């Protein structure tokens, strides 16, 4: 028997029909069964997770954090964009065999501050400055207990690396489906007991990667936080962060100019998920450009709300290059509804 049930049958329809869900819960508990001979169900489940976007609740939380950490005498902020994709928290997936670091309250990917500090400290360790002045590295990042040092019980660093928040609007959705192919499954599965050969059949594995940008925040004394910011920028650019950096994942570039992300009107965020759930539509793009959203919008009675929602929908369509040349009958009918009201 290759199939292993992972969920009580009574819970399966609740997960299947949910209009919205916490991605972390779906990663840990959402897969109903494991079938090693049929990976489609697992891949479909990963695709569902990767279609979940941010809502207005997270948008407001992000804006509050950004606003409360703008004191330049105490904090330094750095916005970095993932060049390709990022793997962070891969081992947290349980039977899903893939994971992602997901904020327990907001359901969005984040980069733990401990991981950020470890990457920067490791990168700085090899620089000529810290090789000549090891006490500077200990001051910035802390030091372990050493009975022969000036701080025999160890010391804390003066720089605090806060968790990095995913930046709303920096990508269509924060997560993206990736495939990592294991070329020698027997070799890895049995810790090298079976040799790896050129005759092994590769096995593609679905994975959850992160895309978009992150807001990094450091806290510390004036002057030192600016140095820490420069070290952080160099480490993420040259060394990367997360898993599979040797394969090109996890490298970042600094955003040269940043614009505040535009929050979706609550009506729009709620109805996108409601329509998606009612139609069991795995692709959120189809909801955005579908006739169902246009018809729901058409029923809004508040003129101010109707105008604000249309502006958000039109802006999204234009960012995706859908407005000038909509593809498909549903998108064309939806645009006709929007334009008819505009006229």
Residue reference for tokens 């060049």 = 83
Collapsed DSSP state (helix, strand, coil) of residue 192? coil
Residues in the chain: 343
Residue 270 lies in a domain: yes
d(CA 132, CA 212): 37
Q: Do 330 and 299 have their domain in common?
A: yes
Q: Do 312 and 186 have their domain in common?
A: no
Residue 127, pLDDT above cutoff 90: no
The domain of 85 spans: 56-119+159-254
Write out pLDDT tens, residues 204-236.
678 899 999 999 999 999 889 999 999 999 999
Residue reference for tokens 């109707």 = 306
DSSP 149-171: SS-TT-EE-S-EEPPEEEPTTSS
Write out pLDDT tens, residues 12-64.
888 777 767 888 888 888 888 877 777 788 888 888 888 888 888 898 899 89
Q: What percent of the chain has pLDDT over 70?
A: 88
Assigned token pair, 37: 């001979």
Of 254, 278, 299, the residue that ends a domain is: 254
Q: Do 314 and 217 have their domain in common?
A: no
d(CA 262, CA 291): 23
Collapsed DSSP state (helix, strand, coil) of residue 34? strand
Residue reference for tokens 């480490």 = 235
Query: Which residue from 141, 140, 159 is spatially nearest to 219, judged by alpha carbons?
Result: 159
Report how many domains make up the chain: 2
Q: Do 182 and 305 have their domain in common?
A: no
Q: Do 250 and 271 have their domain in common?
A: no
Per-residue pLDDT, 131: 78
| Mean per-residue pLDDT of the chain | 85
Residue reference for tokens 């990917």 = 109
316 band by pLDDT with thresholds 50, 70 and 90: confident
Q: Do 196 and 290 have their domain in common?
A: no
Per-residue pLDDT, 186: 66
Per-residue pLDDT, 37: 73
By the 10 Å C-beta count (0-12 exposed, 13-18 middle, 19+ buried), 249 is classed as: buried
Q: Do 211 and 114 have their domain in common?
A: yes
Residue 164, pLDDT above cutoff 70: yes
Q: Comparing 283 with 320, which gets the higher pLDDT?
A: 320
Q: Which is it for the CA torsion 108, 109, 115, 119, positive or negative?
A: negative
Q: Do 171 and 214 have their domain in common?
A: yes
| Backbone φ and ψ of 296, nearest 5° | -65, -40
Q: What percent of the chain has pLDDT over 90?
A: 38
Q: Do 211 and 322 have their domain in common?
A: no
Of 206, 230, 254, the residue that ends a domain is: 254
CB 228 within 8 Å of CB 159: yes
Q: Do 242 and 315 have their domain in common?
A: no
């Amino acid at each position: 028997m290759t199939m292993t049930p992972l969920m009580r049958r009574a819970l399966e329809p609740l997960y299947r029909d949910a209009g919205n869900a916490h991605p972390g819960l779906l990663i840990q508990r959402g897969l109903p069964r494991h079938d090693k001979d049929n990976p489609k169900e697992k891949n479909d489940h990963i695709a569902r997770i990767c279609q979940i976007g941010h809502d207005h609740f997270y948008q407001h939380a992000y804006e509050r954090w950004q606003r409360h950490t703008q004191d330049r005498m105490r904090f330094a902020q750095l916005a970095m964009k993932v060049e390709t994709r990022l793997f962070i928290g891969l081992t947290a997936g349980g039977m899903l065999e893939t994971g992602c670091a997901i904020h327990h309250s907001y359901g969005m990917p984040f980069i733990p501050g401990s991981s950020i500090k470890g990457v920067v400290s490791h990168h700085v360790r090899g620089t000529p400055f810290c090789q000549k002045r090891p006490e500077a590295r200990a001051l910035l990042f802390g030091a372990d207990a050493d009975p022969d040092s000036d701080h025999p019980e160890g010391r804390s660093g003066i720089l605090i690396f806060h968790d990095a928040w995913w930046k709303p609007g920096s990508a269509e959705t924060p997560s993206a489906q990736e495939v990592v192919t294991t070329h020698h499954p027997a070799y890895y599965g049995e810790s090298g007991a079976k040799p790896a050969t050129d005759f092994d059949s590769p096995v593609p594995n679905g994975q959850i990667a992160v895309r978009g940008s992150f807001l990094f925040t450091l806290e510390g004394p004036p002057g030192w936080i600016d140095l820490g910011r420069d070290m952080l920028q160099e480490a993420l650019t040259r060394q990367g962060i997360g898993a599979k950096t040797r394969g090109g994942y996890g490298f970042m570039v600094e955003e040269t100019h940043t614009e505040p992300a535009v929050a979706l009107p609550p009506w729009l965020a709620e109805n996108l998920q409601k329509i998606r759930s009612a139609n069991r539509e795995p692709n959120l793009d189809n909801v955005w450009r579908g006739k169902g959203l246009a018809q729901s919008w058409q029923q809004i009675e508040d003129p101010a709300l109707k105008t604000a929602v249309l502006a958000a929908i039109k802006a999204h369509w234009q960012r995706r290059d859908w407005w000038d040349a909509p593809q498909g009958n549903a998108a064309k009918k939806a645009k006709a509804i929007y334009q008819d009201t505009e006229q």
